[in-house]
Structure 1
Amino acid sequence: MSVPRDPVEPDDETVVDPDWQPGPEGTRVIVGDEYVEEEIVEEEVVPRRLPTIWPWLLALLLLVIGGLAAIFFLSRDDDDPAGTTATTATVPVLVGLREDAARDRVREAGLEAEVQRRTGNKAAGVVLAQRPEAGTTIAEGSEVLLTVSSGAAQAAVPDLVGEQRADAIAALEEAGFRSRETTAFSEQPEGEILEQDPAAGEKLAPNGVVALTISKGQEPEPVVIPDVVGSQGSEAAATLREAGLSPNVVTVPSNRPGGEVVAQAPAAGSEVDEGTAVRLNVSAGATQTQPTQTQPPATTQTTPPEPAPAVVPDVVGGPLADAARAFGDQGLKVSVQPVPSEEPAGNVVAQARPAGTELERGDTVQLNISTGPEPAANATVPEVVDRQQADARSRLASAGFEVLSIQLRGNPSQVGVVISQTPDGNAQIPGGSLVILYVGAR
């Protein structure tokens, strides 16, 4: 505690030590010549609050950044469109193509194929529609939808067995099918459906073919042609009618007595259907010349009879071998033309001249021969004309063909030699077919 000094009257001004610094709490202050203790209280500092404008500044900053980014990317699009635009491709034409070919075209165009299937009027596997349409420009790698046919919608075949032909045909047409008909003798009434293929209930595409076997009724007993050569024409005709045959009388020159039957066709003993026409060649009588008035004494001359014309037989439906023999009996030859047919292989399906046609002996008639539903592979017919019959048959047999020889009377120098053949040498016909040889004979 300091000792107070005598009070001194202060001067007019207070003198403060220029080197004075505030001291710690409780520091004494000299006022004039006195020390005065004074408590120093520290002033409380209140923190300053930031202004509320900063969120707006932040939002403004983000807008500026976004705008700059947009300007940058837009300017890139303008400067280099190829760098930012996707590559495009043109959709090719696909309708009508097979599915595999359509897929290849889609892939070549840089696109992807997507397939859906539905029934249609095109064959299975054919493209019916496409989406997008041909010529459309789309991004590379996009999908092209192909609508592919799964085939025509199939329908059930109706049950036709036991129906009459007209009713069966109408039922098939109503169902959208076609028919193929064959006939056969049967115990069932004529015109009744005996068999069908496909069977009833099986599925078949529209316009499909149903094979029908139709009854011809009971098979008639064959008629054996009687031998009427040498009898009178009227008697021969009556005999044929009694046998259920149809006589066809033709008068021909002959040295036989007039009215006598000199030939008949088909030959006696042949088995034919009832009602078959039988040709009868009836002699017109011998033609004589009157004696001449010159010496030596008159002689009698007769004109040699003209050979009877050959009559074309009916061979359709029978095997080629029988047909060739029937023509050979009439002095006719045949030429063979293989044709596709549902008839059994080797059967005659048509003949160029109708049965009953009169031709000259030695004439040739073309026969169309079925190759069958499933023809054998073609083989080349060896050329055997002018070869001995035995050699020719051997060559043909070695090549896998059947052989039929028919004798023809002609030049004695050609006896035993192949005069002609059918089919011709080097022809392409199904293996195993019949080759006919016409061989010279006395």
Structure 2
Amino acid sequence: MARAATADLVGVLLDGRYRVLEHLADGGMASVYLGTDLRLDRDVAIKVMRPDLAADEQFVSRFRREARSAARLAHPNVVAVHDQGESADGVFLVMEHVPGQTLRQVLDSGDGLRVRAALDIVQDALAGLAAAHRAGLVHRDIKPENVLIREDGAVKVADFGLARAVTSQTATGATGVLLGTVSYLSPEQVQRGIADARSDVYAIGLVLFEMLTGRKAVDGETPIHVAFQHVHGDTPTVHGVDPQVPLALCEVVDSALQRDPDLRPRDAGELLERVARARTGLTDAELDRRPEPGPPGTDGPEPHRTERQLGRPTVAQRSEPTEGALSGVVVPQDRSPQATAPQRRSPLRWLPVLLLLAAGAAAGLWYLTIGQVTTVPDVAGQELTGVEARIADAELSLTTREAFDEEVPAGVAVRSTPVAGSETRKGSEVVVIVSKGPERFAVPDLLGMTQAEASEALGRVELAAGSVSQAFDEDVPEGQVRSSSPEAGAELRRDATVDLVLSKGPEPIPIPSVVQQPVAAATATLEGAGFVVTRAEDVFDPKVPKGAVVSQEPASGTGYRGDTVTVTVSKGPEMVTVPDVDGKTEAQARSALEGAGLTVSVQKFLGGPLDRVRATSPASGTRVVKGSTVTILVV
């Protein structure tokens, strides 16, 4: 039986490769240790299963299968699975070491997360989950204890392989530990023991609920009580617990916590889009808000201390096992009775034959066993030509496969199967993974697309839409993408986000009034504002100086750059000549003067008995402004 997964493993060498340095934490299914990979000289986290789980053949078999699946999942927001193995010390999983804290530790600190920080954490966690869901993996055990926050702020989701390997039977074994998991189980997991991507959506919704409100959505004294609430109770709404949480975020969380899986977002990718959309509408004040302290008695259970931040121990000496050698060959003795013959022969005469037969037997035995065994060479970090030479020297058959790697340059070996140092028969196949370099995807040209079209185009190249903002644009119609960041052609990692700027259409421009301004100045003013100026036919205007604007169309309001404004320019007052009405009757004079556009004023001498005009003022022939008054003297 495997040794118990406790702190006594410190100092143990697992699988001849992983030195256990320090005990970090104990969980419901395993103990976690800090270790070092002696082959690659790097820190690793080693999770050693509980002895009762390690004794369950069904669990171990499923654990191996799921660990292999999880190891294929490469994403910056997922804790990488490096290796899985079994030894006398237990069944273990080797993972990326993430120095920092769990989200549970952050939540239990009592400070409360700002909305901005909560969204940063959940968006990164959703990005990792979305990659898993696209790969057909379901986590099944999302909870704050499985969300790790590295010292530099990077967020990683842990325990993919372990969560899938644990069955409902093994999950109900320890009531005290189970409480942390049951709080985040979906109704379908509780009722029917089934889970899909929507189950992870439910769990991450509960995690976001807790980050936004400072308390669990579903809690209780016993796992049975908590599980009953998931299935039959009414999950509280974020708004009901804390009305100050922005309504857009409340709606997102409520959509994830629907009891019917068909009413939830279909996977983490869709929930990530909803969170991103809700975030774009939040103000700085809303993003900087922390949860209000709850009323007495609403605090959750004691914090689950699942990880401690420890110093890195030093391995003072690394010893390597030594191999023994064959000590020799035992030669059988001749036990036959002495023969009687006429001539006595010495028994030593058979010694060369016996030695030859023994040597042949030893050589045959060596050839059939040790002679056909070779050691897989360590080819990691070597270019393909060097790999070929080392595999050939070891008398093995080489098969190469390519895979993307963020750290190993293209054309350089990453690892081999069987692993380096393993013993295998000569001529066996060794599969060497050769790096294709970092996996990168080019940002497509998104200009002119709608937001939905841009999101779909990014999804086709394994990228995602990030933040969405708006800006005025004279050329791009409203609602279409006017720019992206990074721009088209930029090379990004899988699932990286691209920020979009959507056009709000042309920017409205106030139309300035240029009436009474000289036409040149008026034109400069309007064109400087972005308008096109046209000039109507000039008109006479006694009140507006010649060359100045009499009127404009439109006269006020707003327009758009490139719109036309028509101005009418004054020709100044219209001049007319005072006609000669001397000797005409008053009626004839009035008719002639008014016909010339003048106003008539009459003065009569002695009542004007003769009804004849004898003088005008101004005098006839004078140029006056049309509409001026001319006085006639009638006698």
TM-score (norm 1): 0.29
| Greater share of strand | 1
Highest CA radius of gyration, 1 or 2?
1
TM-score (norm 2): 0.21
